[in-house]
Amino acid sequence: MPTSFDLLPSANPTAAAIRGDILDNPGFGRYFSDHMVHIRWTVDAGWHGHQVRPYGPLTLDPAAAVLHYGQEIFEGIKAYRHADGSVWTFRPEKNAERFRRSARRLALPELSDDDFIGSLKALLVQDHEWVPTPASEADECSLYLRPFMIASETFLGVRPSQEVDYYVIASPAAAYFKGGVEPVSIWLSSNYNRAAPGGTGFAKCGGNYAASLAAQKEAEAHGCGQVAFLDATENKWVEELGGMNLFFVFKDGRIVTPKLTGTILEGVTRDSVLTLAKDEGLTPEERHISIDEWREGAASGEITEIFACGTAAVITPVGELVTENDRIRLAAGSDNAMGKRIRSKLLDLQYGRSEDKYGWLTQLV
């Protein structure tokens, strides 16, 4: 049964004119809508106190567990405005399921699908005016939704928190990369790994991102926008970027993405690309791919295209891989045609411009 959310309306909602200016040029992650969702959990009462309340600072005790031991998970999902004004989201049951998987790994309580999807709907009923309207098919604007869960018990001791808070905030977003989809240079991290067997690689937790930042700084020092990580055991198998999954398109029509073995985040975009690639006549393969196969396939022309994918940036072509010793480029160059094709197929679905034949859309408002 969907739970109902109590509404505490904002006393100072953003004026329509100011909101309009923000939506004309929202950037990414800079502005937030007028409300947020909050649900409280305690070990005795479970999940309770569902509410939509004014967006604003949290009050946390300085001894709150999350501040010391990093017991935190999050999600990222977008709301899209369709041409008829309705607002939809994409495969939220996948995010709900992943959120529960992340919760189990971080010893946090699991939130039901009804509460997860219900919380997105409850926020959007209130803040639907914050969903930008695309000016054209090239205008990839959306309302980015960020559900997250934190350990809020006041207690300096290492054990799962007995008090937890779940929130959803919303931030209007323009296309992630402004100036269009340009190939990105990627730094191959050799000093750091993102995830290890038995660790938290498959969970969407803040700690994974905190641990990736030193590598990200190295990437930037080498003129790269993103960082790629190898497996922690053999330093040989390609895993993913700091926040995006990787795909390799081969000349013979195969499309390869690293297999999920617990150290890779299971992206919703990754899963959708596997399906859409089949529609394009490609043969998807989930398997290990080594850095040597990348290097050799790029040099021989066997690999014709490489791209990264995730909710925020959709699909981004990889221009080159920069390592300590070399720069790996596709010998034959690439027009990135397949990545672009799959990208527009995905966007057409998300913005309601093509038939939702896989039932991937959920209406929020």
What is the contact surface with ligand PLP in residues (CB under 6 A)?
76, 204, 240, 243-245, 265, 267-270, 310-311
CB of 45 to ligand PLP, least distance (A): 31
Q: Quick one: 166 or 247, whose CB is closer to ligand PLP?
A: 247
**Separation of alpha carbons 156 and 310, rounded Å:** 36
Q: Quick one: 64 or 314, whose CB is closer to ligand PLP?
A: 314
CB of 266 to ligand PLP, least distance (A): 8
Q: Which residues contact 303 (CB under 8 A, 6 or more apart)?
A: 248, 249, 250, 251, 294, 297, 330
CB of 222 to ligand PLP, least distance (A): 20
Q: Quick one: 64 or 228, whose CB is closer to ligand PLP?
A: 228
Q: Quick one: 71 or 311, whose CB is closer to ligand PLP?
A: 311
CB of 106 to ligand PLP, least distance (A): 14
CB of 273 to ligand PLP, least distance (A): 9
Distances (CA, A) of 202 to 98, 262, 278: 9, 5, 25
Q: Quick one: 111 or 268, whose CB is closer to ligand PLP?
A: 268
CB of 204 to ligand PLP, least distance (A): 5
Asked if 232 contacts 196 with a C-beta cutoff of 8 angstroms, the reply is yes
Q: Quick one: 5 or 90, whose CB is closer to ligand PLP?
A: 90
Q: Give the DSSP letter string of 19-44.
A: HHHHHHS-TTTS---SEEEEEEEETT
Tokens standing for residue 180: 């269009």
**Separation of alpha carbons 206 and 242, rounded Å:** 12
Q: Give the DSSP letter string of 100-167.
A: HHHHHHTT-PPPPHHHHHHHHHHHHHHHGGGSPPPSSTT---EEEEEEEEEE--B--SSS--SEEEEE
Asked if 70 contacts 102 with a C-beta cutoff of 8 angstroms, the reply is no
Tokens standing for residue 346: 């995905």
Q: Quick one: 38 or 94, whose CB is closer to ligand PLP?
A: 94
CB of 337 to ligand PLP, least distance (A): 22
